[in-house]
Structure 1
């Protein structure tokens, strides 16, 4: 009887772990354009005035994003679902897919830039996170705070990760913390990515890449060089590069 009880407890523990190491996270990604423009010191006065007029007092732009994950892989994409206030917007959805294989230590990211589709294929390089002592609740989970900087885009990024979901995955192109990342804050709230719903379930083909990926293949170093060159060009033109480049 005692042996049966021990076996039942072991099987129960395995089942609980299986239920929390695979599933999907829904995020809301909000960009505050006026705040971003005010931070970009190289923008011309004319450009700032034009953008202020265009947003007409409503500068928070929301999109929904989705992260599929298990203990070995993750896939992050923009959702087809639109916030209610953006129902009338009928813009074309660009190619965007961030794919991580932690077991094989590889990435395959697909994105569109200036009308061209690129496929980044490379090995994963561990991000240089600094873990801090702060904690807060996100989507029902107690999360710890971590920080990293992006020198190319001049960003300070704060992440909140759930230690009770001990997986490497996260939204955007960020990963590598000892817990699933449930919130990102880029440059003091200029862009926020916040988990609204977490569903633990068995995935089917959600993590699978299309059999044929169309686009120009590059590596991570080439992608960084592209970003640096493009940001320099737009800085010289006194324009916001993040109209065309994901912030």
Structure 2
């Protein structure tokens, strides 16, 4: 009986999706582990437990975000919901400026039919439009299932290249934590922490998709499964769908962004690497780059 009910529910969903003007809106909550950051700051003798707690609270907007995916059968836009800080909050403004370094940015557009993507990016005042082909993801389909909200979801895994333009993907080098513990306070002040981290080349992701919404869309650059991806995670970040609205009363126009200097993903990663090298030579982290890009 349960299988019959599931079959009719899935069939009804497919009919809904096949409607000519079909559209859906999904909300995703993103959480990224702060463990790597804690490893470094915990070895800084100048940071008290109270300061550590305050830093973590201030960093939460970069590690906990909300995104909206607006999709139809062929295209989608994915955007971060902007959270307003207190007026005059200089630290909050500084974190906002670092948004692109940590995977933030403007509108992210995918066309799964044409297999193309466009994403707005801003690096310290200079706007870019990253334009490229959608990454080909070789999914390994699993038989495990679970419920996310009212939807039955199935597991799939894949090994994907790491986005080298996203600082969230850096990880401590082997032995870095032990090396920091041996340093004196004076040595710690002279340490460039970019020398203590590395960028992996690939990562394993786990996705949960629902055939009850049979579109091959998902958050960020994730796509290509026989159903909407409601959850995706790697060893650091989890993106979990908290709400889905199918055929909302007010439709949104799904348009490709046009603002910014057009570059490929590889070109943008190279630009980011040069910017990071600039800041490293200045002896500072992302917060040092308060000047305009190229200034």
**Same fold? TM cut 0.5:** yes
Other-structure match for 2:109: 99
Matched, 1:17 2:13: no
Q: Which has the higher strand share?
A: 1
Give CA deviations for 1:108-149 in whole Å, capped at 9, x if unaligned: 111223432210122323223333333221132111222233
Other-structure match for 1:4: none
Q: Secondary structure at the match of 1:46?
A: coil
Other-structure match for 2:225: 177
Structure 1: distance between partners of 2:46 and 2:137:
34
Q: Which has the higher helix share?
A: 2
Task: Name which of 201, 209, 212 aligns with 1:161.
Answer: 209
Structure 2: distance between partners of 1:124 and 1:131:
20
Aligned length: 222
Q: Which structure has the greater CA radius of gyration? A: 2
Task: Name which of 129, 135, 143 aligns with 1:133.
Answer: 143
Residue 14 to residue 179, structure 1, CA distance change in 2 (3 Å): closer
Q: Is the 8 A contact 2:135 2:221 kept in 1?
A: no
Structure 1 length as normaliser, TM-score?
0.70
Matched, 1:225 2:227: no
Matched, 1:53 2:55: no
Other-structure match for 2:121: 111
Q: Is the 8 A contact 1:109 1:119 kept in 2?
A: yes
What does residue range 226-245 of structure 1 map to in structure 2 within 5 Å?
A: 226=271
Task: Name which of 149, 156, 160 aligns with 1:149.
Answer: 160
Q: Which runs of 5+ in 2 are unaligned?
A: 1-11, 100-104, 170-199, 290-295
RMSD of aligned alpha carbons: 4.0
Structure 2: distance between partners of 1:194 and 1:149:
19
Other-structure match for 1:65: 67
Structure 2: distance between partners of 1:48 and 1:232:
26
Structure 1: distance between partners of 2:155 and 2:14:
28
Structure 2: distance between partners of 1:157 and 1:235:
30
Structure 1: distance between partners of 2:276 and 2:146:
34
Once the two structures are TM-superposed, the CA of residue 185 in structure 1 deviates from its matched residue by 1.7
Q: Is the 8 A contact 2:217 2:229 kept in 1?
A: yes
Structure 2 length as normaliser, TM-score?
0.60
Structure 2: distance between partners of 1:120 and 1:228:
15
Give CA deviations for 1:4-45 in whole Å, capped at 9, x if unaligned: xxxxxxxx8875334695210011122332x232578xx894
Q: Is the 8 A contact 2:23 2:251 kept in 1?
A: no
